[in-house]
Structure 1
């Protein structure tokens, strides 16, 4: 049996290691396309902060790790797939056959259609090559504009602040991290960031980027009409799954590659996991892309076990976001935006703006389905436990609506109860 894994990020690495344990005699090929050892993109900000060197981003520290596992590595980029012949065509013209295929190709940064976005002073922050370019341009005192204040944008922002640049962040949404934070929470993070000397402009975009009369300087025109001279522009406007090679195949793709509970796609023998996969949500069963490393690792293990002939199901994807923004810790879990009241939804907020403390709990019937927190670092795992375990709260729901800060006590009291326990 020959297994091919397209992608050598965290998903591909976990899948390869799981496959080797589950199928000791099978052939495994892991394909990466950047010409780098398998590494973690989430470590790039630490590299930019100079807390680690490039080797510190590597997922496995010994050079012969995969050789010892008898996992063959290949540097190539897939350009098309023949699902009938079970063959992959790569950019260099060679083919690879497979018996089982895992699509773990991840995602790529989106470059909005802005005039001037391809100038050399405009960078994304996604690869080690990107990090090298940013390190050359982001010197202390450099004028830097960052487009996007989402999850990835905030991580990059932290690294840029550590490099001592003059930073302006522009976000099209009405708050920071709008896809993981409630309006109040996103506003509090914006206020916090501004106290650290970073300018944040929300409800705004970039109209164009032009070369200025000064060497290596660009003028950035905002939708507000402001024109800002910049030494560096970083685009952090979101990512999109790497699925171009699946065009004209029967593999179903929506926002990502659609998979079932076994992480199998619409084509038998082909699986997908990680940032590229669109898997069933824990609560609703609706498909979503949850591009975070814990989900990627879980999906990789489930996919690999199924590829090895050991039937395994994913319980469901749970959205999890934990973010450090210039020393302020925030998190969101599950359906943090809540459920409609006519569907049994109700929520509660605790707000302490002076201390930058915030908590939002969202319920459907007597189960907590989502939460958002700021500045509450102790025992925040209890929120995840209540949500992921779909714990029936019984009378504790009303107690939490009255005082949401009692979530730890609720977890201790109810988490050991069977999920189907009667109220």
Structure 2
């Protein structure tokens, strides 16, 4: 049996190692599109801070680790999946046949369509190559402007602030981390980072990035036949870079508010999107990501997906979602690999889980933090102490929560939301006093355990 894995990130590597453990005689091939040893993108901020070197970002540190396991690492970029022929077509025209295929191609930065964003001095913070470029420019005192203050953006922001730069963050939403925090929590995080010396503009967009002294850009040439084919598969090359500005001249960044800011470096952190363009017309169903069932199998038997590119069922919201966080990617990879070798295993579900350290302020977001129509909701805030708690209910279940400063309750929040614990009378008690989460969890868990014992 030959297993091919597209993607050499955490999902791909965990799947490969699981396959090897479960099926020692099978062939396992991992195809990655970067010239690096398999690494974790979540370690890049630690590289920027200086806590680790590049080797510290690597997923495995033992020399010859993959060769010793009999896992073949291959560099290449998927251009097409030939479902009927059971083969992956790579960008160089070569083919890799498979008996089982795992799509773990991850995601890529979603760059906003802003004039000047493709020019020099603008970087995403997604690859080791990006990190090298950022470290070369993000010196103490450098004027750095970051687009985006979402979950990933806040992690990058902390790394940049640690480097001693003059940092400005521009976020389109009306608050920081708008996709994981409600209005009160998002405002509290903004006020906190501003007190730490970071300038934050919310409800604002970057409309243009100009480079004084740069020559006018020539019109883009019509792509040739190969270029059109590449574009059709979502593999088109990046737009030609804008002409470089005069040496040492800062960029001028125009905001929708009318302000113009000067920057030596611009970081684009406006979100990510699944790498699924190469699956167009393949017959593999894709919505926001590659649609999977409870076994992580796609609509095509023998083809699976896991990680940032996979769309799996979320038991809290009752719908399929792409949850681009590493713990979910790891569990999806494990479940997919087990099913690939015939060990039927179900994914228990995907829950939105985010715990964030923003310059020392710890915040957490679980499940349907913004609630549901007709659901009950309670908030308690102590801004002087830097604490905020927001709970969302659907009938007698806690379905989501936001928290700032309640680090001792993080495990309990996750347990209540993921476990879909029926609270009974405790729901009304929590609506009156939301800080009784620990007591509610212990009481309800004990009650459910006793019921299970009686049924047994």
TM-score normalized by the length of structure 2: 0.90
Question: Pairwise mapping of residues 250-399 of structure 1 onto structure 2 (< 5 A)?
Answer: 250-341=283-374, 345-399=375-429
Aligned length: 419
Q: Distance in 1 between matches of 2:17 and 2:448?
A: 33
Shift of 1:410: 1.1
Separation in 2 of the partners of 1:238 and 1:169? 14
Deviations 1:177-214 (A, max 9, x none): 00000111001100101000111000000000011245
Partner of residue 221, structure 2: none
Q: Does the 8 A contact of 2:409 with 2:437 survive in 1?
A: no
Q: Is the CA contact 2:317–2:368 (under 8 Å) kept in the aligned structure 1?
A: no
Instruction: Deviation per CA, 1:310-359: give whole Å up to 9, x if none.
Output: 11111111110011000001010111111111xxx111111111111011
Deviates more, 1:211-220 or 1:112-121: 211-220
Change (3 A) 1:302 1:416: farther
Match of 1:215 in 2: 247
* Residues 106-137 of structure 1: per-residue CA shift (max 9 Å, x gap): 00001111110011101000000000000011
* 8 Å contact from structure 2 (residues 369, 400) kept in 1: yes
1:107 aligns with 2:107: yes
**RMSD (Å) for aligned C-alpha atoms:** 1.3
Cα distance between partner residues in 1 of 2:294 and 2:148: 33
Q: TM-score, normalised by structure 1?
A: 0.97
- Partner in structure 1 of residue 40 of structure 2: 40
Tell me the CA shift for residue 290 of structure 1: 0.5
The change in CA–CA distance for 1:59 and 1:237 in structure 2 (over 3 A counts) is same
Give the drift of 1:418.
3.0
Identify unmatched segments of 5+ residues in structure 2. Answer: 214-245
Distance in 2 (alpha carbons) for counterparts of 1:401 and 1:292 = 30
Where in structure 2 are the equivalents of 1:130-169 lying within 5 Å? Answer: 130-169=130-169
Q: Which whole-Å CA distance do the structure 1 matches of 2:21 and 2:380 have between them?
A: 47
Q: Is the Cα–Cα contact under 8 Å of residues 331 and 373 in structure 1 kept in the other structure?
A: yes
Cα distance change on mapping 1:222 and 1:297 into 2, 3 Å: same
Question: Which structure 2 residues correspond to residues 46-57 of structure 1 after superposition, within 5 A?
Answer: 46-57=46-57
Contact 2:6 2:30 in 1 (8 A): yes
Asked if structure 2 preserves the Cα contact closer than 8 Å seen for 1:261 and 1:313, the reply is yes
Checking the alignment, whether the CA contact within 8 Å between 2:142 and 2:165 is kept in structure 1 is: yes
**In structure 2, how many angstroms separate the alpha carbons of the residues matched to 1:28 and 1:168?**
46
Structure 1's 417 and 100: CA in aligned 2 closer, same or farther, altered over 3 A?
farther
Output the CA distance in 1 between the equivalents of 2:124 and 2:385. 34
**The one of 248, 273, 294 aligned to 2:281:** 248
Which is further off, 196-205 or 282-291? 282-291
Q: For the Cα contact (< 8 Å) 1:392–1:420, is it kept in 2?
A: no
